[in-house]
Structure 1
Amino acid sequence: MANTNAQQQSHSELALAESQTTEDIDPKRGGWITFPFITVGVMGLTIASSGWVSNLIVYLIQEFNVKSVDAAQISSIVNGCNSLFPIAGAVVADSLFGCFSVITFSSVVSLLGIILLTLTATLHSLRPSEGETPSRLQLGVLYSALTLASIGLGGTRFTIATMGADQLAKAKDQGVFFNWYFFTLYMASIVSFTAIVYVQDSVGWGLGFGLCIATNAVGLAVFLAGKRYYRLVKPKGSPFISLARVLVATICKWKLVLVSSQTQSNRSSYYYAKTEVSKLPSSAPSSSFRFLNRAALQTEGDIRPDGSIAKPWRLCTVEQVEDFKTLLRLFPLWSSGIFLSTPIGVQISLTILQALTMDRHVGPHFQIPAGSFLVFSLLSTPIAISIADRFLPSTWIKLTGHSPTPLQRIGLGHVLNIMSMAGSALVESRRLHVVRSHHLEDQTVSSVVPMSALWLAVPLAIVGVGEAFHFPGQVSLYYQEFPVPLRSTATAMIALLIAIGFYMSTAVIDFVRKVTGWLPDNINQGRMDYVFWMLVVIGVGNFGYYLVCAMLYKYQNVGSDYENQEVQDEE
């Protein structure tokens, strides 16, 4: 799931870049000359961040003597933070300091976090001896390192793509940049999940984390070297602030009596921006979520003599209120993605635990590191995206007569996600059968079960294909349906969804451990297959909820776009 985060920001970042006004563009700066500096920066920072994240469970188990399921829980929390912190980074960059300052500061913080993590791997005093429980000091240093590294990752994940698009004035050039940006991101992630993880497992954790330090430092240095060429766009303020203003203004004016917006005289009671009257249908607040119209209702003292707002947190424009309503209409669809992301978070954590107990050899001399198995999902997603973009539209048109809509793509992702969880359940059932037939129930987790771990690649590949449908489908839906001023929040919605999914996966595992005996410290004595079957049941129920939301939802912008696409396809 983490490998989809950058892919999800494409449309929203492109919208942000296209919305720049002419005064923001300095013709003496920017352009393709900045591309090598930003690309190398992306490559270095991504290798560094993925390098310490991808093998974290194994590191906690082997070096800090953390119990296997507890290590999976910690990893889920860290992954949740890695998806949540970028939202804060994007808000800070948009509203206060700008992309360059946030990227620079976050890269330094990331570097400090990885250095501290490397010290835990190289200094014996900062990690427990074999069989001992880590001390408070050792855990404090470890958690401080993870926190710093996560904060650093959060400040670069969204903002560096935005800054890259800021350097190019034409939409076509921005599209080319994003293609190369995604390619760089995926290649860097694959390097981390294979080469870096192999060094950590086969050579040493100190050298593995040291390589992350080196790539982070090189990425930061090259990024800073291009400063004199960058076009720096001034912060324009976060769209989240306008959303908060609508909510606060509604609460402040809760006791006011609403007036009807159907007559021209009553419409004058609402506050409109100078240019928004021509944009809104009938120039009136809509009747849905009518209580929010209070935020745009004018009262004495709200307006200055020159017509501007005197108290921004007590009065909003009608357009801002309608934008907030649009988000509320999309919320049910968005909420269905929480239980779409949660099973993926559980699967990521538990698959590594399975791999640690299975035969990971490929040939007589090479053994796949347990943390590298997630690369099968990482690879299947971009491959599925390229195939789907090339063949799915034409095939779908032949079968249904029209192009696939975002909601249909999301629905297909739901189905594939359920199939993946069922596949993981079947693989685990087979693994437990082999464990019992060889009487390995009482053996340690490190004992190898005579079953190839490559069976784990099948459900991982399926979930990766599912991500290629449901995450891009959600971004496409939000990008086209969000109000224009808020389109840059589409990616934040996906990141927030992924973050909640990871936290929910932690809660699910914790609940299962407390209520059942399915997840003991030695998974050979448990029933992890029951956990996956439980996720299948949850997935089926969530898919039913999604279908209801999808049938009740009425497109506002997507419909016309896809009708035009059908005409083009027929031509």
Structure 2
Amino acid sequence: MAMELEEMDELTLDGTLDVKGNPAGRRSTGGFKSAIFILVNQGLMCVSLYGISINLAIYLTTVLREGDSSAASNTSNWQGAQYLFSFIGGFLGDAYLGRYKSALLFQLVFLIGLVLTALSATLEYLRPPACEVEGIDCKRATTTQIGIFYIAVYIVALGYGGYQPNVLSFGADQFDEEHPKEKVRKAEFFNWFYAALTIGTLFASILLAYIENQGKWALGFWLSTGMGTVALSTFLVPTWRYRFHETGGNPLCRIAQVVTAAFRKRHIKIPLEGDQLYEVINTESTIKGSRKIIHSSSLRCLDKAAAITETDFDNEINQIRKNSWHLCTVTQVEELKWVLRMLPVWATTIFYTTAYTQVYSVFVIQGAAMDTQLGGFNVPPASLYAVDCVTVVLCVLAYNYWLLPQIKKWTALEEGLTGLQRISVGMPIVGLAMFEAGLVEVVRRNKVQRSDNLSILWQLPLYITTGISETFTYIGMMHFFYDQAPDAMRSLGSALPQASVALGNYASSLLIAIVGRLSGSPGWLPDSIDKGHLDYFFFLLGGLSFFNFALFSWAAVHYEYMSRHEVSPSPQSLPFLYSNGVANEDHIYRP
């Protein structure tokens, strides 16, 4: 008996399985011994992606010879599509394929796109010929050449977009959140995951960007392809050590069932107690691979979907009719509640990205108008983004090894800060970064008016501040949306930060257009910023960032955290069901 108990103690408590489909053992599967391969895979995938994306606009203008505005617009659309494709990957991972198979499938799609992209830059008939004289007699790409290149890069976007939410949630699945020590390790995993992403981006922006800026596009793209191949191999190596969750089926269908059942019962009285609502008495919920979720007090109108009425009860066999379009379990209702509860929090993360995305655009424009000479070296304005990347890595190290022990004493939580708390730290800091950028612009304009210029080194504090901000906010977002998502919707939960990045980029373009129209001529953002008021734009972003933080604080205070049952016989016995399945009519609600 003692040996049996010891063996049971070594099994994970969150229902994960090993590669053979048996309950996963804690020692033989999961943990950082498995997750380290996923972290390396993520870093290499980022190198591979940014080898394509970091100079995409330049490739479109110098090789395919598109106009500047067209290239900028097409690059933005491609980046937005990449993030929105994450919903496709998240849906397939949760509903049908599972996170491992989905991550593997989309990596293969990603590699196909990389090979096609590299071929389009290598084969002469897939790209226009070089100019006979620089800038003179340059032939534009044919419709076929442009079409093949865009097909290739959009396959890359589909592959990476579908891969990202699955690899994040699959990596987090390697840690049993029902086990105190592994729960802490899971929080650390999100830190290292974002650090791996940042290091990969930094490597690509230094090495591959340099190669491609020399005009060696084919070499740069083939190196990206090689990195992607190594990344896939790294992901496959420890397959036998991974932990897996069963797929839960179509979440959109389950949501539709709750809405339909609640609408049909809209006239009935809502039960006062959660334990009077319908839930199966089995160890696990009716949704495969999912723990049962404890009833919450918010959005009570949806509880009607889990209230038993006379139409749900079959008198002939004295049992409940199992029809999810008429009667849903508490867990199924709570899935929809999660979607609705997290929407206000998620909406505020969109404007955070709107402000943060200035790092890639307006910060670079400001830097280009500054003195970029350091001795005999000319500093490319976009290269200062490396400071942001280094700051993120240093912040992750400082958080894990210095700040976390101090925070534990303050919060009494083993993981230090919750996801919402981390977001609340990072959000206002990006507002400070915008005000810093505005002050730098004021100083720069004053210098210009005196026929002088300001050193680009004045931008260093801006990138350091934004790096600190994103370390807390984006890692907090990954942690929060994964942690609070129902077990069978965690890949979709992990897709939400990607979606906020996409919408934030689109919102940034819209805000710039609105400011340009309302600020008149020459306006705040003219072609020559020396004639405009870029400082006003930064101050506007700073003010809106703090207003957005106030909205987030309201949403966070009113957010009700989800609670799950362990995967063990539930202590919540159902008052309307006996062990033989006979119903108790006292808890049947009548219109």
Q: Shared topology, TM-score over 0.5?
A: yes
> Taking structure 1 as reference, are residues 481 and 363 closer, same or farther at Cα in structure 2, changes over 3 Å only?
same
- What amino acid maps onto 1:346 in structure 2? Q
The equivalent of 1:380 in structure 2 is 391
Q: Equivalents in 1 of 2:545, 2:106: separation in Å? A: 36
Cα distance, 1:77 vs structure 2: 3.5
* TM-score (normalizing by structure 1): 0.75
Cα deviations across residues 174-218 of structure 1 (Å, max 9, x unaligned)? Answer: 938937655544432221121111222235333222211221123
> Counterpart in 1 of 2:268?
258
The answer to whether the Cα contact below 8 Å between 2:15 and 2:23 also exists between their aligned partners in 1 is no
Report 1:147-546 matches (<5 A). 147-164=154-171, 175=185, 178=189, 184-202=196-214, 204-224=216-236, 234-237=246-249, 239=251, 241-251=253-263, 253=264, 256-262=266-272, 270-275=277-282, 288-298=298-308, 310-356=322-368, 358=370, 360=372, 364=376, 367-392=378-403, 407-432=420-445, 451-478=454-481, 490-516=493-519, 517-521=523-527, 523=529, 526-546=532-552
- Check the 8 A contact 1:54/1:372 in 2, yes or no: no
Which structure would you say has the larger Rg? 2
Q: Relative to structure 1, is the Cα distance of residues 162 and 551 closer, same or farther in structure 2, using a 3 angstrom cutoff?
A: closer
1:95 corresponding residue in structure 2: 95
Taking the aligned partners of 1:284 and 1:104, their CA distance within structure 2 comes to 33
Structure 2 equivalent of residue 10 of structure 1: none
Check 1:17–1:528 CA distance in 2 against 1; reply closer, same or farther (3 A cut).
farther
Q: Are the structure 2 counterparts of residues 530 and 105 from structure 1 closer, same or farther at C-alpha, using a change threshold of 3 Å?
A: same
Equivalent residues of 1:197, 1:369 under 8 A apart: no
Q: Give the Cα–Cα distance (whole angstroms) in 2 for the partners of residues 388 and 409 of structure 1.
A: 11
Q: Distance in 2 between matches of 1:216 and 1:544?
A: 41
Q: Distance in 2 between matches of 1:521 and 1:112?
A: 39
Whether the aligned pair in 2 keeps the contact of 1:343 and 1:535 (CA below 8 Å) is: yes
Structure 1 partner of 2:582: none
Is the 8 Å Cα contact of residues 17 and 24 (structure 2) preserved in structure 1?
A: no
- Give the structure-2-normalised TM-score: 0.72
**In 2: Cα distance, 1:323 partner to 1:290 partner:** 13
CA distance in 1, matches of 2:427, 2:63: 37
SS at match of 2:95: helix
Q: C-alpha deviations, 1:398-436, integer Å up to 9, x for none?
A: 999997665554333222111111222333444555666
- For 1:87 and 1:227, the matched residues in 2 are separated by 25
Secondary structure of the corresponding residue to residue 158 of structure 1: helix
Cα distance, 1:344 vs. partner?
Answer: 1.1
Q: Quick one: which amino acid aligns to residue 199 of structure 2?
A: M
What SS is found at the alignment partner of 2:267? coil
Gap runs ≥5 in structure 1: 1-15, 439-448, 559-571
Decide whether the 8 Å contact of 2:166 with 2:494 is kept in 1.
no
Q: Tell me which amino acid in the other structure corresponds to 1:375.
A: A
Structure 2 SS opposite 1:160: helix
For 2:270 and 2:171, locate their aligned partners in 1 and report how far apart those are by CA, in whole Å: 46
Shift in alpha-carbon separation, 1:306–1:149, aligned structure 2, 3 A: farther
Query: Percent of counterpart pairs with the same letter?
Result: 27
8 Å CA contact 1:42–1:219 kept in 2: the answer is yes
2:423 maps to a residue whose letter is I
Compare 341-350 and 473-482 and name the one that shifted more: 473-482
Q: Which residue of 2 aligns with 1:140?
A: 147
Over 3 Å counting, the alpha-carbon distance change for 1:409 and 1:231 in structure 2 is: closer
Change (3 A) 1:372 1:135: farther
Give the Å deviation of 1:465.
0.4
Which region of structure 1 is more displaced relative to structure 2, 541-550 or 487-496? 487-496
Amino acid paired to 2:387:
F
**How many matched pairs?**
523
Residue 21 to residue 116, structure 1, CA distance change in 2 (3 Å): closer
Shift in CA distance, 68/391, structure 1 to aligned 2, threshold 3 Å: farther
Contact 1:428 1:529 in 2 (8 A): yes
The aligned amino acid for 1:534 is L
Number of the residue aligned with 1:8: none
Query: Which AA in structure 2 matches 1:126?
Result: R
- Distance, in Å, in 1 between the alignment partners of 2:284 and 2:42 is 42
Distance 1:411 1:69, change over 3 A: farther
Provide the rounded CA distance (Å) in 1 between the counterparts of 2:63 and 2:307: 61
**Partners in 2 of 1:18 and 1:311 — Cα distance?**
27
Contact 2:255 2:336 (C-alpha < 8 Å) held by counterparts: yes
**What secondary structure is seen at the aligned counterpart in 1 of 2:85?**
helix
* 1:548 aligned onto 2:551: no
How far residue 324 of structure 1 moved from its aligned partner, in angstroms, is 2.7
Gaps in structure 2 of 5+ consecutive residues: 1-11, 286-292, 565-591
The answer on whether the counterparts of 1:61 and 1:71 sit within 8 Å (CA) in structure 2 is yes
Kept in 2, the 8 Å contact 1:86–1:155? The answer is yes
**Local SS of the residue matching 2:96:** helix
SS of the aligned residue for 1:97 comes to coil
Q: Distance in 1 between matches of 2:423 and 2:98?
A: 33
Question: 2:127 aligns to what?
Answer: 126
Alpha-carbon distance in 2 for matches of 1:514, 1:549:
32
Is the CA contact 1:425–1:528 (under 8 Å) kept in the aligned structure 2?
A: yes
Deviates more, 1:317-326 or 1:384-393: 384-393
> Secondary structure at the residue paired with 1:316?
coil
Question: SS of 1:45's equivalent?
Answer: helix
Measure, in 2, the Cα distance between the counterparts of 1:368 and 1:247.
57
Q: Kindly indicate whether the alpha-carbon contact (under 8 Å) linking 2:270 and 2:301 is maintained by their aligned counterparts in 1.
A: no
Which whole-Å CA distance do the structure 2 matches of 1:489 and 1:386 have between them?
28
* Contact 2:60/2:71 (<8 A) preserved: yes
Q: Shift of residue 163 of structure 1?
A: 4.4
CA distance in 1, matches of 2:408, 2:206: 39
| 1:112 matches 2:118 | no
Q: 1:63 to 1:511 in 2, by over 3 A?
A: farther
More helix by share: 1
- Matched letter for residue 436 of structure 2: G
- What CA distance in whole angstroms lies between the structure 2 residues aligned with 1:451 and 1:17? 59
Residues 67 and 525 of structure 1: CA distance in aligned 2, closer, same or farther (over 3 Å): farther
Contact 2:429–2:465 under 8 Å retained in 1? yes
Q: Distance in 1 between matches of 2:455 and 2:175?
A: 49
Could you say what secondary structure the match of 1:246 adopts?
Answer: helix
The whole-number CA distance in structure 1 between the counterparts of 2:270 and 2:195 is 53
The match for 1:52 is 52
Contact 1:29 1:231 in 2 (8 A): no
CA distance in 2, matches of 1:326, 1:65: 47
